[in-house]
């Protein structure tokens, strides 16, 4: 049997069959040279038989990067005489690659020696392209699902979880491999768990849509056991089998925001009521001031009258009347200050003696404090001087801080409130120190935030407003925890000069 002809094989009839089949048939001799190249090979590659016969397959049909692998497979088949199956690329005459799936075997001569290598191949380029496109589309779909801002969970008609998106992992706390194959009841608490099974069974039996295609707000459960509100939208599609897909959004933050907004609404309404009460209080203060002034005048007149007569207790009576006049005037001054404090007015900065401003604020803030057992000491510096400020606003801050300190000492064994002023370089410092329960780390961080409060009935706006006022005065307000129980509030205001006073007048 010669290597370059096939006359000794199965004759012309077999040859005609190999030429007419759609399967690629190529026969190589022991040197790798093509001795048979059927019509299907010619149509696929664009090379006719004359161009292919006698040439080694790897010299013109194999991609450069695959030549070594193909030669290795050829040599192994020659040596081991074992059929092989593999996939590689063939180049067409115009250079286009085609993917071929090969089955290879050996043909032996009369002596049993390997004479030829028979390769039969199928062009799988199109199917591989479809597979690649399908894989890419599935990968693309998974990427979309993975990037979804809502959780996406799919299940079959038995409620078995088929897919569990990254957002679902984040919301529920289960990893995908923990959820796959589990029933949806994994994330549904009672009594919704029983209702879900009933809805699903009813839908499968009747086709009646009760929950399908509708958004519903329900309660879900995390891996930790924590229950939380979600909104879920369920639909179905068919992919050979019936599949249900659920889109789930965590409403926890939304509910918190709604509660905060409701709280803010209530607080603003409360502030409105306080504002109305302030107007009423200012009116009452104005009305009270008149009879107090009259009482002081009458008491003074009585004192003058008594000086004109003689009786044993005259001096004591006159002394008491004078004290009465003094107390009435002090009460009248306090009411005047309260009226000024509550009156709505624009910010108006001018030079003020800081000690005097603080004294007035103390008088208002400490009303009723002694009844609570609070011991108050003041240490107002002798050379503090003046600062350019809005008197009412700064008094508002000082009063708020004093009141906060008094509240903080309600349950304290020792109730000592110390108020001091001092001039330090370019600032005047006002300190308010208490012996209350102090501040936790969390409270320190949020102390001056709007609507943050540690009081059960507090609004959380006092310190926030105080900080805004001090900031507007180019000052600084801080809270320092003492080594012993209690807190020191410090207000620093820029020192004001007489040149500024002249400009403001």
Cβ atoms 270, 453 nearer than 8 A: no
Query: pLDDT category, 270, cuts 50, 70, 90?
Result: low
Distance CA 123, CA 129 (A): 12
Count of other CB atoms within 10 angstroms of residue 192: 17
Same domain, 119 and 165: no
Q: Evaluate whether residue 1 is within a structural domain.
A: no
**Residues contacting 260, CB < 8 A, separation 6+:** 451
86-135: per-residue pLDDT in tens?
888 999 999 899 999 999 988 888 888 888 889 999 998 888 777 666 66
- Give the number of domains in the chain: 4
Q: Evaluate whether residue 2 is within a structural domain.
A: no
- The CATH number that applies at residue 500 is 3.30.565.10
Same domain, 225 and 108: no
302-315: per-residue pLDDT in tens?
878 888 788 888 88
Same domain, 334 and 360: no
For the chain, how are helix, strand and coil distributed in percent, rounded to 5?
Answer: 45, 25, 30
pLDDT of residue 41: 94
Same domain, 235 and 268: no
Out of 35-44, 367-376, 474-483, pick the least confident. Answer: 367-376
Query: pLDDT category, 441, cuts 50, 70, 90?
Result: confident
Nearest to 87 by CA among 72, 64, 103, 75: 103
* Domain that includes residue 257, residue range: 252-344
Cβ atoms 40, 24 nearer than 8 A: yes
Q: Evaluate whether residue 204 is within a structural domain.
A: yes
Same domain, 246 and 259: no
Same domain, 356 and 500: yes
Same domain, 374 and 500: yes
């Amino acid at each position: 049997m010669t290597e370059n002809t096939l006359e000794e094989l199965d004759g012309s009839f077999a040859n005609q069959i190999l030429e007419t089949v759609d399967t690629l048939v190529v026969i190589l001799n022991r040197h790798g040279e093509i001795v048979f190249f059927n019509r299907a090979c010619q149509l696929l590659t664009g090379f006719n038989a004359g161009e292919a016969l006698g040439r080694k397959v790897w010299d013109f049909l194999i991609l450069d990067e695959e030549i070594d692998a193909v030669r290795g497979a050829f040599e192994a088949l020659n040596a081991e005489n074992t059929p092989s199956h593999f996939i590689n690329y063939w180049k067409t005459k115009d250079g286009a690659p085609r993917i071929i799936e090969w089955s290879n075997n050996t043909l032996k001569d009369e002596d049993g020696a390997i004479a030829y290598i028979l390769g039969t191949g199928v062009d799988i380029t199109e199917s591989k392209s479809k597979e690649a496109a399908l894989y890419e589309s599935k990968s693309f779909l998974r990427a979309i699902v993975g990037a979804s801002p809502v959780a996406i969970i799919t299940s079959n008609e038995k409620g078995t979880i088929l897919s569990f998106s990254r957002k679902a992992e984040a919301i529920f706390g289960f990893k995908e491999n923990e959820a796959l194959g589990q029933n949806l009841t994994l994330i549904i608490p009672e009594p919704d768990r029983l209702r879900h099974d009933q809805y699903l069974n009813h839908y499968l039996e009747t086709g009646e849509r009760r929950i399908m295609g509708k958004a519903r707000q329900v309660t879900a459960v995390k891996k930790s056991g924590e229950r939380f509100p979600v909104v879920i939208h369920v639909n179905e599609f068919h992919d050979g089998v019936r599949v249900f897909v659920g889109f789930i959004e965590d409403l926890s933050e939304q509910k918190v925001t709604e509660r905060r907004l409701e709280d803010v609404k209530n607080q603003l309404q409360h502030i409105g009521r306080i504002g109305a009460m302030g107007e009423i209080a200012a009116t009452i203060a104005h009305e009270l001031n008149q009879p107090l002034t009259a009482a002081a005048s009458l008491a003074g007149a009585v004192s003058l009258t008594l000086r004109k007569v003689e009786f044993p207790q005259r001096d004591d009576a006159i002394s008491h009347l004078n004290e009465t006049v003094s107390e009435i005037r002090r009460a009248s001054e306090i009411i005047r200050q309260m009226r000024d404090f509550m009156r709505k007015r624009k910010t108006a900065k001018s030079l003020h003696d800081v000690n005097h401003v603080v004294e007035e604020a103390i008088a208002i803030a400490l009303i009723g404090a002694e009844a609570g057992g609070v011991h108050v000491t003041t240490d107002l510096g002798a050379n503090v001087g003046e600062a350019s400020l809005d008197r009412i606003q700064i008094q508002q801050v000082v009063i708020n801080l004093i009141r906060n300190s008094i509240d903080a000492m309600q349950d304290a064994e020792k109730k000592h409130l110390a108020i001091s002023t001092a001039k330090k370089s370019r600032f005047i410092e006002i300190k308010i120190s208490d012996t209350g329960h102090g501040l936790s780390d969390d409270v320190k961080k949020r102390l001056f935030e709007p609507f943050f409060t540690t009081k059960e009935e507090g609004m959380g706006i006092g310190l926030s407003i105080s900080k805004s006022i001090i900031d507007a005065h180019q000052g600084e307000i801080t809270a320092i925890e003492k080594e012993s129980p209690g807190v020191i509030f410090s207000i620093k205001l820029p020192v004001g000069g007489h040149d500024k006073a002249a400009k403001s007048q």
